[in-house]
C-alpha cells in the first residue's frame, strides 16, 4: 500500500504541474475573465452554454483545478490508511490539502476582485505574487509527502551550518525569481513588444507602465540566481556526499541551465505562449529539485566534532 501511495503522490505532483501550466495559459491568452465575475459558477451557470473560447479555457481550468483538489483529498485518505499516526507522510498530505485550499481561495479572489484579463494594477501584481508563492509551497509539500512516503527523514534546518544557510538562501532566491517571473509574464501579456528592439525601448522608457519597467530585472535576477545555485549545489553535495544529494544537486544545475536557455529563447522569440509555458514548467521543476536537495541534505543535523581526550604521558 505504501509503494502505491508513493506512486500516487508523485502522480498528484505531476498533475498539479500540468494544472499550473494550464493556469498560465489562461493568463497568457487573457481568458481569466472568461467566466465573468462569478465563482464558483461560470457566468452564473454550473456548466456554461454557447461559451466563447475564453470561457471554455477558463472553465477547463476550473475543472482541472477542482480535480486537483479531489486528488489531494484522496492523498490524505490514502496517507491516513497507509501510515501510522504521526508519520511524516500524513503530515505532508494534510499540509498539501491546506495549501490547495488556499490556492483555490486565491484563485477565486483574483476572479471576484476582477484581477484578471486586462487588469494591470499593482493589486493584481501583488495578488499574483502571493498566488505564486503559495503555488510553490503547494508543490513543495506534495514533493515532501512523496519523499516521506518512500522513507525520507524529517527536515532539520537548525544546526546545519553552511549547508543550511546556502539552502535557505536558495529557497528565498528561487521564490523571488518566481515572483519576478510572474510579474514579467503579466507585463509581456498586457504590453507585448512588436520586436526585440521595441521591447528594449519599452523597458528603458522612464514613463512606461510599471509592469514594463520591471521586466528588465527578471533576466538579471535569473543569471545571479543561476550562478548562486550552481555554487550552492556543489558545496551542499560536497558537504553531504550522499547519492541522493549528489543526484539532486546535479538535477538542480541541469534544470536551471535549461530554464535559462528557454528564458533566452522566450525573449528572442518575443514571448510566444508555447515557450512561456515551457519556461514556467522548467521553473517549477527547478523548485522541485531544490526541495529534494534540501530533503536529502538536511535529514540529519550537522555532526558536532568530538574532541579526543588528551592523554598525558608520565615519564
Q: What angle do CA 280, 135, 251 make, to 5 degrees?
A: 55
Domain closes at, from 154, 173, 189: 154
pLDDT in tens, the chain (315 residues): 688 999 999 999 999 999 999 999 999 998 888 888 888 888 788 888 756 888 899 999 999 999 999 999 999 999 999 999 999 999 999 999 999 999 999 999 999 999 998 899 999 999 999 999 999 999 999 999 999 999 998 888 778 889 999 999 999 999 999 999 999 999 999 999 888 888 888 888 888 999 999 999 999 999 999 999 999 999 999 999 889 899 999 999 999 999 999 999 999 999 999 999 999 999 999 999 999 999 999 875 444 444 444 444 444
- Helices and strands (DSSP H and E) totals, the chain: 10, 0
Q: Report which of 251, 255, 292, 298 is spatially closest to residue 150, judged by C-alpha positions.
A: 292
222 and 290 both lie in a single domain: yes
227 and 291 both lie in a single domain: yes
Is 220 a domain residue?
yes
253 and 176 both lie in a single domain: yes
Query: What is the rounded CA–CA span in Å between residue 236 and residue 289?
Result: 13
Domain closes at, from 94, 128, 154: 154
Query: Nine-digit cell at 280?
Result: 514556467
Domain that holds residue 222: 155-302
2 and 149 both lie in a single domain: yes
Is 137 a domain residue?
yes
User: pTM of the full predicted structure?
Assistant: 0.91
192 and 261 both lie in a single domain: yes
Place of cell 515557450: 275
94 and 193 both lie in a single domain: no
163 and 144 both lie in a single domain: no
Half-sphere exposure of residue 123: CA atoms within 13 angstroms, side-chain side: 10
Q: Report which of 233, 228, 231 is spatially closest to residue 296, judged by C-alpha positions.
A: 233
In whole angstroms, what separates CA 128 from the centre of its chain? 13
Amino acid at each position: 500500500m505504501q509503494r502505491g501511495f508513493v506512486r500516487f503522490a508523485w502522480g498528484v505532483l505531476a498533475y498539479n504541474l500540468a494544472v499550473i501550466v494550464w493556469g498560465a495559459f489562461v493568463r497568457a491568452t487573457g481568458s481569466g475573465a472568461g467566466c465573468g465575475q462569478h465563482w464558483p459558477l461560470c457566468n452564473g451557470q454550473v456548466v456554461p452554454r454557447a461559451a466563447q473560447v475564453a470561457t471554455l479555457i477558463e472553465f477547463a481550468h476550473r475543472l482541472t483545478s477542482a480535480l486537483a483538489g479531489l486528488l489531494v483529498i484522496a492523498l490524505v485518505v490514502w496517507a491516513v490508511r497507509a501510515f501510522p499516526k504521526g508519520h511524516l507522510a500524513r503530515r505532508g498530505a494534510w499540509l498539501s490539502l491546506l495549501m490547495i485550499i488556499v490556492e483555490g481561495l486565491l484563485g477565486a479572489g483574483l476572479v471576484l476582485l476582477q484581477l484578471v484579463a486586462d487588469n494591470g494594477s499593482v493589486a493584481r501584481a501583488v495578488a499574483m505574487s502571493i498566488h505564486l508563492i503559495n503555488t510553490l509551497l503547494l508543490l513543495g509539500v506534495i514533493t515532501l509527502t512523496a519523499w516521506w512516503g518512500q522513507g525520507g527523514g524529517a527536515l532539520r534546518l537548525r544546526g546545519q551550518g553552511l549547508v543550511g544557510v546556502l539552502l535557505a538562501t536558495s529557497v528565498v532566491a528561487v521564490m523571488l525569481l518566481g515572483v519576478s517571473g510572474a510579474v514579467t509574464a503579466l507585463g509581456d501579456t498586457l504590453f507585448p513588444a512588436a520586436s526585440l528592439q521595441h521591447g528594449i525601448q519599452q523597458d528603458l522608457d522612464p514613463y512606461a507602465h510599471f509592469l514594463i519597467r520591471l521586466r528588465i530585472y527578471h533576466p538579471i535576477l535569473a543569471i545571479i540566481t543561476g550562478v548562486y545555485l550552481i555554487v550552492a549545489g556543489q558545496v551542499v553535495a560536497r558537504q553531504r556526499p550522499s547519492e541522493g544529494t549528489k543526484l539532486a544537486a546535479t538535477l538542480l544545475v541541469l534544470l536551471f541551465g535549461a530554464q535559462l536557455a528557454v528564458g533566452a529563447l522566450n525573449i528572442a522569440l518575443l514571448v510566444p505562449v508555447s515557450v512561456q509555458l515551457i519556461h514556467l514548467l522548467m521553473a517549477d521543476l527547478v523548485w522541485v529539485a531544490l526541495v529534494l536537495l534540501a530533503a536529502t541534505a538536511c535529514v540529519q543535523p550537522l555532526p558536532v566534532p568530538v574532541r579526543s581526550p588528551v592523554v598525558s604521558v608520565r615519564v
